[in-house]
Structure 1
């Protein structure tokens, strides 16, 4: 098929990056997509049902399927800023036109990344704390007081991007959660490429439990306990790519976390005519 279009298949030595078309989907996934494409359904009903099932599988309270991890950043930011307020939802990408609405998101300087434009596309601005990437690699660390000082009524969320040694200068996620929640501010984790390990699906935002391999040993009677337990960090929303380690379609992603925020995301996502409308996911990808 690719040759007919003049496209040359490549040998992928780069991983699951979008530029090299993500991952290869297993045959059962392809078969399920083929089956799903053969019927008409109400998309909002399918989204809700698929979200409930994914929440069960990932030990989370709620879940939403989006069109990519980048789309997930847009929707997560919009949900944290707007809550359940329809006036704010309708105001994006100009949330500041509604009085009293937070218009800032806190991010560590060492965690700024090329796709954070998706957060800014909602109309918010970043407040940076901590060292730069270069300073982080030299051992400079963020002080908790730096985070405390910026958490005022203008901040709608704190974004964490745990991805590589240059982010070591950031505060630990658990500490960020504790400080932010004390100020009534939710925490978002961009975990787009954090699968594997599969237990990250509940480590950030879900309910803790044994790691899959330890649970398998327990089920088989090989061990009497599963000591490799993974605790939940209490993050409000975690975002994963569907087309990387999950080996699903490249044009998918997962949002996991608080039910009220997932409800806000659902209201702002397709097929509703709000900021998430361009980020729709087809029935064969849910």
Structure 2
């Protein structure tokens, strides 16, 4: 192209990039793609609903705060090195949670896998490349209490580590051997196990064995974000997409600096490791930090009173139906927020919990609750948006009254 033709071309050509300006690429089709905002929910025929069930993965967990979305959207127009982001965000999260170090993972499950991998391999690249094959590894076992040996144990065992089950402190002492790599504690099952946190940690420290605790859904209370670090656990694993309201596919692994360093070597962007597929993108890492920063600054006492008020609205409405009884409890560990149970006398109300769940799901607006027994349901309010408590109250009352 001749010089004069090039100048002429540049005078009419669209901008294709802006070095250092953070301007997204434009093209001849830019006007077409931005002219009309697509409603993908409507386009795909997806059902949306009022979430009176809770932060279940099946229900897409929680809704992100506007400042989390802003962190995601603003970072999406820039290139950055993912390790730099993890470095900076990890420092901030560690400071908030009073840990030596931290990293953002692709959910709590990934935190469990990568944390275990880090314990098994350290920074040995040969061992990292070998997982989940533990041939030649000296330490290959993880001690777990019988009451804690439930479905979530599949996360750490992705690394190839073998579970050794114990019940009592005496059992634990006998189970420890030269093969013991770590001791895993499921916080959700605390009240079911015979060995509590302090005794578990004391025995681990006596034998210099790393400890990991899974507190996936155990926020609130907010203090749990640093409680287990201060207690002495070497690694703490948290879900980011539940009450903290970060990206659903994000989580946090925090704890001892050497173990976090090893976990990161087992994780993306590094290849030739067990965690390569557990990617967490820049938007999720920054969004997770924004969510955590927002969450710890909330007025949690005020938030709790708001939840109690929402429960009262629903409870008052349904108790007007003859044959209905209600109970409000607070789960002691996971999903720690007011839980409303609504039960009814089937002699007076000819409806099962399956029937009620389906009626609410198929109504307008659609509402999701959780069945508890054949004649009772559970409702949580901490994922409700302002005003939705009144809608839930009206709809549940309507359905129970209709068949009474």
How much does 1:18 deviate?
0.9
User: Is 1:189 paired with 2:226?
Assistant: no
Once residues 166 and 175 of structure 2 are traced to their aligned partners in structure 1, the CA distance between those partners, rounded to angstroms, is 8
Corresponding residue for 2:77?
Answer: 38
Q: Find the residue that maps to 2:254 and give its secondary structure.
A: strand
User: Is 1:266 paired with 2:291?
Assistant: no
User: Is 1:50 paired with 2:89?
Assistant: yes
Once residues 177 and 92 of structure 1 are traced to their aligned partners in structure 2, the CA distance between those partners, rounded to angstroms, is 27
Once residues 194 and 54 of structure 2 are traced to their aligned partners in structure 1, the CA distance between those partners, rounded to angstroms, is 26
Once residues 169 and 240 of structure 1 are traced to their aligned partners in structure 2, the CA distance between those partners, rounded to angstroms, is 20
Q: Find the residue that maps to 1:278 and give its secondary structure.
A: coil
Once residues 174 and 87 of structure 2 are traced to their aligned partners in structure 1, the CA distance between those partners, rounded to angstroms, is 39
User: Is 1:251 paired with 2:249?
Assistant: yes
How much does 1:60 deviate?
1.2
Once residues 238 and 99 of structure 1 are traced to their aligned partners in structure 2, the CA distance between those partners, rounded to angstroms, is 24
How much does 1:86 deviate?
2.1
Q: Deviations over 1:194-247 (max 9, x none)?
A: 111111111101xxxxxxxxxxxxxxxxxxxxxxxxxx2100000000101110
TM-score (norm 1): 0.83
How much does 1:25 deviate?
0.6
Q: Structure 2: state its 5+ residue gaps.
A: 1-39, 286-404
How much does 1:123 deviate?
0.8
TM-score (norm 2): 0.59
Once residues 258 and 277 of structure 1 are traced to their aligned partners in structure 2, the CA distance between those partners, rounded to angstroms, is 22
The verdict on how the C-alpha distance between 1:117 and 1:99 changes in structure 2, with shifts beyond 3 A counting, is closer
Aligned length: 245
**Which of 191, 195, 208 lines up with 1:171 in the alignment?**
195
* Higher mean C-alpha displacement, 144-153 vs 108-117: 108-117
Moved over 6 A (4+): none
Once residues 173 and 252 of structure 2 are traced to their aligned partners in structure 1, the CA distance between those partners, rounded to angstroms, is 30
Corresponding residue for 1:98?
Answer: 136
How much does 1:172 deviate?
1.0
Report the structure number with the largest CA radius of gyration: 2
How much does 1:90 deviate?
1.4
Once residues 161 and 100 of structure 2 are traced to their aligned partners in structure 1, the CA distance between those partners, rounded to angstroms, is 27
Q: Find the residue that maps to 1:147 and give its secondary structure.
A: helix
Corresponding residue for 2:144?
Answer: 107
* Higher mean C-alpha displacement, 171-180 vs 109-118: 109-118
Once residues 257 and 58 of structure 2 are traced to their aligned partners in structure 1, the CA distance between those partners, rounded to angstroms, is 33
* Higher mean C-alpha displacement, 12-21 vs 260-269: 12-21
Corresponding residue for 1:209?
Answer: none
Q: Find the residue that maps to 1:176 and give its secondary structure.
A: helix
How much does 1:191 deviate?
0.5
Question: What is the RMSD computed on CA atoms of the aligned residues?
Answer: 1.3
Corresponding residue for 2:157?
Answer: 120
Once residues 164 and 260 of structure 1 are traced to their aligned partners in structure 2, the CA distance between those partners, rounded to angstroms, is 28
Corresponding residue for 1:150?
Answer: 175
Corresponding residue for 1:13?
Answer: 52
Corresponding residue for 1:283?
Answer: 282
